Every structure is written in C-alpha cells, then in structure tokens.
Amino acid sequence: MAQLPLALTLADHASLATFVAGDNEAAVQHVRAVAGGAGETLWLWGAGGCGKSHLLQAACRVATAEGLRAMYVALGSAQPELLAGLESLDLLALDDIDTVAGQANWETPLFGILNEFLARRGGLLLAAAVSPAAAGFELADLRSRAAGAVTYRLKALGDRERALAVRLHAEARGLELDPAAADYLLRRVDRDMRALTAWLDRLDRDSLVEQRRLTIPFIRERLTGGSSE
C-alpha cells in the first residue's frame, strides 16, 4: 500500500552542520564569521555542485538565528528589479553572479549594492562558477570592486569526505543508510554533491512510498532506471 510521504520526511535544510568542508575549511569559517555579522564581502567560486549554494543558504540561516536580516537570491532565475532596496539587509547572498555579468540592467544595480555594502561594511556573499576577473563584468568599477572581495575557490570533496557528507545528509533526512549502501551509491552517481543529495531525496521518498529499506538491491533498482511513480 502506497503511503503519502510528505508528512513523514525530515527536511534536510542547507546548514553549516551538514556542510563537509574538506579542503574548504578556511572558506567555511570565513562564511560563518560573515553570517555572524562580520561585515565583509566574500566571493566563492568553483564548479557546479561544489557547495556554493549550500554555503550561501546555510549562512542566511545562521544570520537569522543571530537576529540579523538575511536574504538569498539566485540571480540566474531572478529579475534585476529584485535587487532594489536590498542594501539595507544585514546579510545578502547572491548566487550565480557570473550568469548576469555583462548585462547592463544587472550590472548597475549590482554595482550599487557592492558599493553600499562596502561603504557600511555589510555582509555580502557572492558565488560564481569563476573568479571575479573571469566573470565578464563590463563595468570596470564593478569589476574592481568584485576583485576586492576576499575570494575563495571551493574545491570538490575527496572520496572520504563525500562519504561523510552523504552520511550527514542521510541522517538529516532521518534515513538509515549503512556504509556499504552509501559506498555503493557514491560509486555510481555523479561526483557533485547536488546530484548526490538529489538522489538521497529520491531514495528517501521512494523508500517511504514502497516501505522498503535502503538496501543495495533497492538502490540498484532505482539507479538503473526503476521509476518511483
């Protein structure tokens, strides 16, 4: 008998507790400091799935807990008007900033925001696939201010760290995933953490619906195309 999964799944919200830092310890610590009110601008960059969005959203969560006003914006799916008035926030996290570089209707408000945050030392977290110099800003002033951010390149996790990350994410969802099953999953899905957590979501839902434990045969069935619907 199928069971409605919604009420029973535990939410795995982006938090610093489930973020495995690996080689990115300094970046994570710095993000934590900014989320706690250290007024600085950080530029985090790296390939997709290395944890940028997770870090940014986790930082917003920390800021809220500290009583600060925070907001996360994924620029790739937003409109420039959304930036109006955001100068007053304590922490602003702008994701995918490189996807709007080179567009005048974005660059002018972005420049205003960088200027304001620098002037009053607000917390600004910027994330991109590339470094500030390679983002392709047309506005020289914006380029220069972005280059003045403290930049961190986020590195992908090693195998052992990915295993730890999967365990933490599974725990956050209330999933029981034994080491052998975790290892099986890790070896077979894409290396980036986004793909991994998406699979965890799906396995979580499917195992609830079908009332099955997360065994290797069950995972294999899913990975080889068994539909969950």
Partner 1 sequence: MAENSAAYSSLWIQCARSLEAELSEQQFNTWIRPLQLVADGAVVKLLAPNRFVVDWVRSHCLEQIRAWWTRHSESGAEIVVEVGSRPVARRDMPTREPEARAVAAPAPASASALGGRLNPAFTFESFVEGKSNQLARAAAVQVAQNPGSAYNPLFIYGGVGLGKTHLMHAVGNLIQARDRGAKVAYVHSERFVSDMVFGLRHNTIAEFKRAYRSLDALLIDDIQFFARKDRSQEEFFHTFNALLEGQRQIVLTCDRYPKEVAGLEERLKSRFGWGLTVAIEPPELETSVAILMSKAAAEGDALPEEVAFFIAQRIRSNIRELEGALRRVLANARFTGRAITLEFAKEALRDVLALQDKLVTIENIQKTVAEYFKIRVADLLSKRRSRSIARPRQIAMALAKELTTHSLPEIGDAFGGRDHTTVLHGCRRVKALRETDTRVAEDYNNVLRTLTA
Can you give the binding site for partner 1, defined by CB under 8 A?
11, 13-14, 25-26, 29-30, 33, 40, 53, 57, 60-61, 64, 69-74, 78-79, 81-82, 84-89, 93, 108, 111-112, 115-116, 119-120, 130-131, 133-134, 136, 140-141, 143-145, 147-153
Among 182, 181, 199, CA closest to 190 = 199
What's the min distance (Å) between Cβ of 18 and partner 1? 12
Give counts: helices (H), strands (E), the chain.
8, 5
What tokens appear for 96 in the block? 């995918």
CB closer to partner 1 out of 148 and 174 = 148
Smallest gap from residue 9 Cβ to partner 1 (A): 9
**Smallest separation, CB 224 to partner 1 (Å):** 28
What is the C-alpha separation between 207 and 55, in angstroms, rounded? 28
**Least distance between partner 1 and beta carbon 190 (Å):** 19
Show Cβ contacts of residue 173 under 8 Å, excluding neighbours closer than 6 positions: 9, 10, 11, 12, 200, 201, 204
Cβ at position 142, least distance to partner 1 in Å: 9
- CB nearer partner 1, residue 136 or residue 167: 136
Residue located via tokens 């294999």? 220
Chain centroid to CA 66: how far?
20
Nearer to partner 1, 155 or 191 (CB): 155
Q: Which is nearer to partner 1, 94 or 181 (CB)?
A: 94
Look at residues 47, 51, 107 and name the one whose alpha carbon lies nearest to residue 75.
Answer: 107
Is 139 in a helix, a strand, or coil? Answer: coil
Nearer to partner 1, 201 or 210 (CB): 201
